[in-house]
């Protein structure tokens, strides 16, 4: 098979391309606009005979049509992905996440191509800290931020196109990913690299917000399972039972890195900050037999810290501009 991976130079997309090359015989075409969030170096070492890189925008109808016409399947990761940026500059979230997904849907409709849409648990809004429920495939949509509203919009487009035009499409909604190649704007890499450059880690609000962590490698294996064996028109939630408060995660990072567990600052909270995400992944486990492999979060976190220690050349060029953007957003 020839698989078109949009956003393949980003965090999860690049992890997925490495996973595909390792685990399958498929050829891969990466379509990526190389925004600030992309890093070509995340794709280093992949065989040129199997992986082709195309720089381009998912809103470019002609380019998208040409690439879809020559692919057997599309796995769609490309998006503006950061909540803080969506509060500061929502425009490109609407353009890429909504119009970009629309452009891909029209192309797969014309060519009858298999389509998998990668989405987020944030489309469901948030849960109270003491809510016994977790998100499931039947939880009503209730997005809070411009980012999650545009991802919810893209999911709804996929659902409508699938029903109206009988597309061979699936959707997955995953919880918070961590692992190598994640941009230093995101919570875990930001704190690790703050410590590495001698700055203090920063926790939003009271630090009690909960995220449900999954290793990007497990997200990749789940997406591949849905691509291969998912039922047409279905949605699958992906999670690894990794709930932890931001404060707990930060304390683990500090301890692993040999710092005092109280060596951080509390800063102004993110407006509209979702309190808690939690995924019930029974459906994908029972229907597709998928299981996460990285079930020991402390081990995965330690390996991720080692990766950032050893790959300074990958993240150091991004750090100053990222922190400058945060200073502007906090001003
Ligand atoms: P990322 O920001 O690291 O990467 C996004 C990639 O998309 C970048 O390489 C960027 O250049 C590319 N891109 C952006 N706009 C584009 C455009 N108009 N045309 C072509 N390429 C474009 O994001 P990520 O964290 O890897 O997330 C990937 C996908 O997974 C997103 O759809 C996101 O909503 C979803 N997701 C992320 C998480 C998470 O924890 N990061 C969890 C669940 C779902
Ligand atoms: O749940 C899936 C989503 O997870 C994805 O759809 C998004 O693309 C991805 O960015 C992520 O969204 P979050 O907003 O949860 O991730 P972020 O890394 O920005 O923040 C994680 C938590 O940490 C959140 O509660 C905010 C908090 N935080 C974040 C930063 C950057 C801090 O306390 N301090 C920080 O410096």
pLDDT digits (tens, 9 = 90+) for 298-323: 999 999 999 999 999 999 999 999 99
Task: Give pLDDT, residue 310.
Answer: 98
d(CA 52, CA 64): 15
Distance from residue 116's CA to the centre of ligand 1 (Å) = 14
178 within domain boundaries: yes
Evaluate whether residue 262 is within a structural domain.
Answer: no
Q: How many structural domains compose the chain?
A: 1
Q: Which of 57, 79, 121 for mutating ligand 1's site (highest number of atoms within 8 Å of CB)?
A: 79
- pLDDT tens readout for residues 254-276: 999 999 999 999 999 999 999 99
Reported as a single tens digit per residue, the pLDDT across 104-125 is 999 999 999 999 999 999 999 9
**At what angle are helices 246-256 and 187-197 packed, to 10 degrees?**
40
Going by the DSSP 8-state scheme, the letter that residue 122 receives in this structure is G
Ligand 1 centroid to 269 CA: how many Å? 24
Which domain does 170 fall in, by range?
2-183+213-241+276-295
Strands 2-6 and 27-32: parallel
**For the segment 215-225, what is each residue's pLDDT rounded down to a tens digit?**
999 999 999 99
**pLDDT reported for residue 174:** 99
| pLDDT value, residue 122 | 98
Average pLDDT, the chain: 98
Residue 331 pLDDT > 90: no
pLDDT at 17: 98
Assigned domain for 328 exists: no
Inside any domain, residue 121? yes
pLDDT range class, residue 330, cuts 50, 70, 90: confident
- Is 120 among the domain residues? yes
Beta bridge mates, 214: 177
Give the pLDDT confidence score for residue 304 in this predicted structure: 98
pLDDT at 329 over 90: no
Domain assignment present for 257: no
Q: What is the pLDDT of residues 148-159, one digit of tens each?
A: 999 999 999 999
- The residues facing 27 across adjacent strands are 2
Closest to 174 in 3D by CA, of 244, 221, 104, 209:
221
Flag whether 65 is in a domain: yes
What's the gap in Å between 280 CA and the centre of ligand 1?
Answer: 23
pLDDT number for residue 65 = 98
State the pLDDT at residue 149.
Answer: 98
Nearest atom of ligand 2 to the alpha carbon of 207: 33
- pLDDT tens per residue, range 198-207: 999 999 999 9
Nearest C-alpha neighbor of 211 from the set 184, 247, 162: 247
| pLDDT for position 250 | 98
Tell me if 113 is assigned to some domain. yes
- What is the CATH number for 141? 3.40.50.720
pLDDT digits (tens, 9 = 90+) for 7-66: 999 999 999 999 999 999 999 999 999 999 999 999 999 999 999 999 999 999 999 999
């Amino acid at each position: 098979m020839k698989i078109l991976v949009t956003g393949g130079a980003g965090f999860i997309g690049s992890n997925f391309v490495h996973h595909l090359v390792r685990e399958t015989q498929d050829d891969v075409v990466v379509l990526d606009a190389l925004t600030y969030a992309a890093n070509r170096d995340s794709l280093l070492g992949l065989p040129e005979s199997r992986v082709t890189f195309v720089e381009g925008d998912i809103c470019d109808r002609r380019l998208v049509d040409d690439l879809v016409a020559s692919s057997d399947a599309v796995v769609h990761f490309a998006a503006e992905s950061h909540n803080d940026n969506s509060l500061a500059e929502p425009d490109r979230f609407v353009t890429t996440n909504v119009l970009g997904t629309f452009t891909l849907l029209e192309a797969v409709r014309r060519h009858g191509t298999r389509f998998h849409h990668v989405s987020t648990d944030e489309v469901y809004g948030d849960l109270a800290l003491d809510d016994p429920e977790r998100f499931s495939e039947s939880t009503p949509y209730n997005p809070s931020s411009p980012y999650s509203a545009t991802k919810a919009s893209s999911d709804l487009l996929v659902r409508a196109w699938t029903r109206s035009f009988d597309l061979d499409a699936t959707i997955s909604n995953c919880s918070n990913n961590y692992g190598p190649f994640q941009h230093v704007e995101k919570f875990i890499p930001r704190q690790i690299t703050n410590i590495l450059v001698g700055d203090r880690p920063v926790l939003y609000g009271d630090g009690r917000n909960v995220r449900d962590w999954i290793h990007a490698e497990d997200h990749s294996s789940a997406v591949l399972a849905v691509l291969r064996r998912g039922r047409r028109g279905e949605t699958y939630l992906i999670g690894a039972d990794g709930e932890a408060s931001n404060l707990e995660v930060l304390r683990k990072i500090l301890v692993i890195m040999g710092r005092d567990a109280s060596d951080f600052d509390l800063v102004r909270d993110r407006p509209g900050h979702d309190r808690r995400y939690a995924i019930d992944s029974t459906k994908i486990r029972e229907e597709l037999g998928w299981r996460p492999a990285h079930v020991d979060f402390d081990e995965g976190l330690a390996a991720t810290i080692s990766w950032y220690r050893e790959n300074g050349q990958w993240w150091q060029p991004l750090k100053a501009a990222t922190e400058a953007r945060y200073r502007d957003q906090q001003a």
